[in-house]
Amino acid sequence: MNKPVPVFKFRQGSAPLLVSMPHVGTHIPSSIDVGMNDAARKLADTDWHLEELYDFLGELGASILIATHSRYVVDLNRPPDNANLYPGQDTTGLCPLDTFDRQPLYQAGKEPGASEILARVEQYWQPYHTALDSELQRLRAQHGVALLWDAHSIASVVPRFFAGRLPDFNLGTASGNSCADEMSQALSAIANSSSDYSNALNGRFKGGYITRHYGKPDNNIHAVQLELSQITYMEESYPFKFNDKAAQQVRPTISRMLESMLEWAEKHH
């Protein structure tokens, strides 16, 4: 009998910063995989290589929470009731039925029903969020403030969700509700100062469930989502190879953003 894969990996740091990576997981349990198509097994919609891209987090003293299971099992950045985060726009759900390219993930008749979706929320979604919430509470108790950076990446061109090419840096603060205004302005200034990359604040991506749910500036918890265009650090076609040279170029801008959040926290707490 194969030993179950833990739902997440967690490393506790010393700074008031937690970096969450909810879409980097690639594991699909065999009980779910058996009903899936080959399109699912390519895992095309994974936030590839973010652990490698963010290899500097230890130097910042950040805590790190990393999902191990694929977003095709359950999407950790969707609300547990599966409400659409972008009303009126196309989006994938809590337990997606198709890829971003609209390829069916499941064989006909093998799609998860309501009871299966509830079971996945309980088994995979809830433990991740319990760990996330627990660490934010610990950070706030220890430091007086908790910072949450929700790290994502996506292909630069996904016609289903947006026209043309996506900006390189897509910062989301739930339209200004998930973090201090001064913090988001500092992050935007860093993005704007990097002439090699385009950026947007609260554009197509305003932050998913994690940013919106946990970011409570009035309670000293500040959350930001970065949806990074994958063209900035990897090859966007299968088998989705890491591009070390490109990563070396983009990494300092990401690092500077996280440093600016820590500087803000030090100044205000």
pLDDT tens digits, 133-181: 999 999 999 999 999 999 999 999 999 999 999 999 999 999 999 999 9
8 neighbors 126 (Cβ within 8 angstroms)? no
Q: Do residues 223 and 178 touch, judged by C-beta distance below 8 A?
A: yes
Tell me what percent of the residues of the chain surpass a pLDDT of 70.
99
Q: Which alpha helices (DSSP H) does 61-177 contain, by range?
A: 114-120, 126-143
Q: Which residues contact residue 41 at a Cβ distance below 8 angstroms, ignoring those fewer than 6 apart?
A: 28, 33
Is 127 inside any structural domain?
yes
Residues 60-102 have pLDDT tens digits of 999 999 999 999 999 999 999 988 877 777 778 899 999 999 9
Question: Can you give the pLDDT at residue 92?
Answer: 83
Alpha helices (runs of H) in the chain, residue ranges in sequence order: 30-33, 38-41, 50-53, 57-60, 114-120, 126-143, 181-193, 209-214, 244-268
- Domain membership flag for residue 111: no
Residue 106 domain-assigned?
A: no
Is position 196 within any domain? yes
Give the chain's length. 269
Rg (CA), the chain: 18
Q: What domain range is 59 assigned to?
A: 8-25+42-69+122-268
Per the domain annotation, does 176 fall within a domain? yes
Reply yes or no on whether the pLDDT at 41 is more than 70.
yes
- Residue 104: name the closest of 47, 24, 29, 38 by CA: 38
Q: Which residue has the tokens 């299971």?
A: 69
Token pair 């940013």: residue: 211
Non-local CB neighbours of 75 within 8 Å, separated by 6+ positions: 22, 23, 92, 93, 94, 95, 96
Predicted structure pTM score: 0.96
Task: Give the pLDDT score at 241.
Answer: 98
- Residue 89 has a pLDDT of 76
**Over pLDDT 90: what percentage of the chain?**
93
> Number of structural domains, the chain?
1
If you average pLDDT over every residue of the chain, what do you get? 96
Give the per-residue pLDDT at 16: 98
CATH code, 201: 3.40.630.40
What is the token pair recorded at 68? 């191990």
Confidence of residue 2 (pLDDT cuts 50, 70, 90): low
Strand order in the sheet with 8-11: 8-11, 63-67, 17-21, 146-154, 221-229, 169-172, 199-201
Contact 51, 8 (CB under 8 A): no
Q: Would the pLDDT of 7 be above 90?
A: yes
Is 203 a residue whose pLDDT tops 80? yes
80 φ, ψ to 5°? -65, -15
Q: What is the rounded average pLDDT of the residues 193-215? A: 95
Angle at which helices 181-193 and 244-268 cross, to 10° = 150
3-state secondary structure of 131: helix
Average pLDDT over residues 120-137: 98
Q: What is the mean pLDDT of residues 33-45?
A: 96
- Report whether pLDDT(106) > 60: yes
Answer yes or no: is 92 within a domain.
no
Count of CB atoms within 10 A of residue 225's CB? 26
What's CA 12's distance to the chain center, in Å? Answer: 18
Q: pLDDT class for 237, splitting at 50, 70, 90?
A: very high
Q: Is the pLDDT of residue 18 over 80?
A: yes
In the prediction, which pLDDT does 214 show? 98
DSSP string, 223-265: EEEEEEEGGGTB--STT--B-HHHHHHHHHHHHHHHHHHHHHH
Is 262 inside any structural domain?
yes
